[in-house]
Structure 1
Amino acid sequence: MKNNWLAFLFAILLPAIAAAQPARPVRLQVPLDSIHLSDPFILADKKTHLYYMTGTGGLLWKSRDMKRWDGPYPVAQPDPASWMGPKPMIWAAEIHPYKGRYYYFATFTNEALKISAKDGRQLDRRACHVLVSDRPDGPYKPMQDATYLPANRLTLDATLWIDKDKKPYLVYCDEWLNEMNGTVEKIALKPDLSGTTGEAQVLFRASDSPWSREDPRSGPVRPNKVTDGPYVFRTGTGRLGMVWTSWIYDVYTQGVAYSTSGTLAGPWTQESNPITPPNFGHGMLFKSFEGKTLMAIHSHRSEGGRYIRVPHLFEVDLTGDKLVVGKAYRP
């Protein structure tokens, strides 16, 4: 089990470390399956009629048709004097249009700052933060608040949701390393998204999952500790759902939960089975310019001892009461 966790941590660190490396040369007309990218997020921007893809590493790809992509472009410009430091690692970036501007939700890691985990380990400070730009391709720069979430907690994979009260919320994971049982939580955002307000609320815990599994090597099999990659959506009937990712032993796996109240406050009930094939996870949903609902997601595979993560697209049916993942989509 220890080796599985080490492999997992190594796999997620590698692409994030790329954000601190010298800029890569821009490539043109690259097929989607030739791009190595964790946690892909695609914005179909109606203003520019372009697709923008980002994710872990904090870089950006652009496409007119999703068949061929140009990139990667550096777009994030966090404050080097802030807690993030001059060269933070960037994880699971998302771009959300909101009230005429574009907001860059991401997880930033500063290896120079440490916090204490529950088990006493000293861990790199990692937290969700939001940057802003007037353009979808940036540059994205800081707003008002220096922090969005407590400095003594490891948080990650932030996303935006506008709830029934018409207010914006930050939905994110409080990492399993904090309490050895990861959570998905929400906290209210200021009207201009420049900071958070009020107290966070736990929506559900990793241990609530009926499908995730962890082998403790002694004693019975138990639910996995990891919560990863939450993304909120509504079905065609108005039902509120959330995809999120964990593990079944050493297999990266995505499931779905639904809110019985129709709001973020829940309570949330977990579906019994995963909704995507094994070794796929950290999915998000978007509509193509042709009106087709798609899921962007990445797969895991090992090649010569290296973890490779490649973005994929799946067709999705949201017309009924549940999210149904269909066949792989080829643009």
Structure 2
Amino acid sequence: MRLPDMPLHDPFVVADEPTGTYHLYTSNDPSVSGVDGTGTMVYRSHDLRDWTRPVVVFRTAEQEGIWATDGAWAPEVHAWDGRYYLFTTLHNADKPLPVPPPNQWGVPFRTPTHVRGTITAVSDSLLGPFTVLDPARPVPPEHLMTLDGTLYVDPSGQPWMVYAHEWLQTIDGTMEAIRLAPDLSRTVGDPVYLFKASDAPWTAEQIPAGVPHQLPPYITDGPQLYRTPDGSLLMLWSTYEKNTADRDGTVSGGYVQTYAVSRSGDVQGPWRQHRPLVRDDSGHGMLFHTFDGRLMMILHRPFENARGKLYEMELRGHELKVLRRRDDLDGGG
């Protein structure tokens, strides 16, 4: 298989040196995996061009007593303490949360909020099967509607989950972080606010004159952390470039891949926003190194019926640049 033929939302790559194999994780799609149900599947490749048919590595139906069976968005796998840990976002519409009141411009949030958050699951293999660590609840605080949790380990060795706090609760979506227990099964302490979506000044550049700058929704998606050679901490994240909404709260505007930098090197910032790296309804990217040492970014485009797109990248200090689109690998388009 090649990327144009592979359904692929929220892609995440693990480059496994011992086997010389790239593992590309995404939400299960029964039409290509042949396995029904909510979960995670993985494609594999030795060259980023030709990929195996996907194997399912996690299914909610196989997790006894799990709190949710919908979603399985934004899966990613991290090596930690000699094992592999899957992070993926589930939700349960049968567990409602209080609906926020209309905002100051009278835009009602008619979409009910419900429990949504990232779970952690463990396996001894990149190919699973992964077993959820706490089937009773998501890892972030249950009263928060969150998504896209990712692992960050600070210089002291303390693991954190960095996640997006949904605009449905916050109006202006935020990025937050919370410390994790050593086994990654639960949180320790309270969430730490990092930044809000509207902190990126370019988000308002295309909003028509006379429309309030804070008109929602301002969305935060897909945090991914990367330590730069100069010691800064870089965060890839995604949002909508033109943040306007209909009266029912429907988003309009293009999805973009952007990033922020903490020059202090601390996850708590302060965070400085940079201009988008890739537009054209693209986003939820992550960085990885090829086996010959090149820095690559993979993201999905378009948002609907998404496919993986690859970019060769360059870091100049803490400045991230796109060198070239690798359409020789991702098939163009």
Report the TM-score, using the length of structure 2 for normalisation: 0.82
Equivalent residue number for residue 325 of structure 2: 328
Aligned to 1:312: 309
Q: Secondary structure at the match of 2:311?
A: strand
Identity %: 35
Change (3 A) 1:311 1:245: same
CA contact (8 A) 1:188 1:196 kept: yes
Q: Is residue 193 of structure 2 the alignment partner of residue 209 of structure 1?
A: no
Shift of 1:130: 0.7
Q: 2:288 corresponds to which residue?
A: 286
Q: CA deviation at 1:47?
A: 3.0
Please, which moves more after superposition, 51-60 or 218-227?
A: 218-227
Of 136, 146, 159 in structure 2, the residue corresponding to residue 168 of structure 1 is 159
What is the aligned partner in structure 1 of residue 241 from structure 2? 248
- Is it true that 1:31 corresponds to 2:13 in the alignment? no
> Shift of residue 145 of structure 1?
7.1
How far 1:113 sits from its partner (Å)?
Answer: 2.6
1:76 to 58, 67, 76: 58
Matched, 1:91 2:73: yes
Shift of 1:91: 0.4
Letter in 2 for 1:296: I
Q: Bigger CA drift: 51-60 or 186-195?
A: 51-60
Amino acid at match of 1:265: Q
Quick one: distance in 1 between partners of 2:281 and 2:214? 20
Cα deviation digits, residues 251-287 of structure 1 (max 9, x gap): 111211111321101111112x211233211110001
In structure 2, stretches of 5+ residues that fail to align are: 29-39, 102-108, 243-252
Unaligned runs of 5+ in 1: 1-29, 302-306
RMSD of equivalent CA atoms: 2.1
Kindly provide the CA deviation profile for residues 303-331 of structure 1, in whole angstroms up to 9, marking residues without a partner as x.
xxxx3211111001125331112211234
Counterpart of 2:262 in structure 1 is 259
Q: CA deviation at 1:292?
A: 1.1
SS state at 1:177 partner: helix
The CA deviation string for residues 61-106 of structure 1, in whole angstroms up to 9 with x for no partner, is 111221111222221144341211xx32210100111121111011
1:227 match? 220
Which deviates more from structure 2 when the two are superposed, residues 181-190 or residues 48-57? 48-57
Partner of 1:270: 273
Q: 1:236 to 1:105 in 2, by over 3 A?
A: same
Q: Which amino acid aligns with 1:219?
A: V
Letter in 2 for 1:154: M
What is the CA-CA distance between 1:144 and the residue it aligns to? 4.5
Read off the aligned partner of 1:287 and give its amino acid letter.
Answer: H
CA apart distance, 1:117: 2.8
Once the two structures are TM-superposed, the CA of residue 109 in structure 1 deviates from its matched residue by 1.7
Q: Could you tell me the TM-score, scaled by structure 1's length?
A: 0.83
Matched, 1:115 2:108: no
Whole-Å Cα distance in 2 between the matches of residues 266 and 260 of structure 1? 7
Paired with 1:315 and 1:267, the residues of 2 have a C-alpha distance of 28
| 8 Å contact from structure 2 (residues 113, 168) kept in 1 | no
The residue that corresponds to 2:24 in the other structure is 53
For the Cα contact (< 8 Å) 2:97–2:143, is it kept in 1?
yes
Distance 2:121 2:194 in 1: 25
User: Does the 8 Å contact 2:222/2:238 carry over to 1?
Assistant: yes
Select which of 121, 139, 150 maps to 2:141: 150
Q: 2-side partners of 1:211 and 1:129: how far apart? A: 33
Q: Is the 8 A contact 2:255 2:279 kept in 1?
A: no
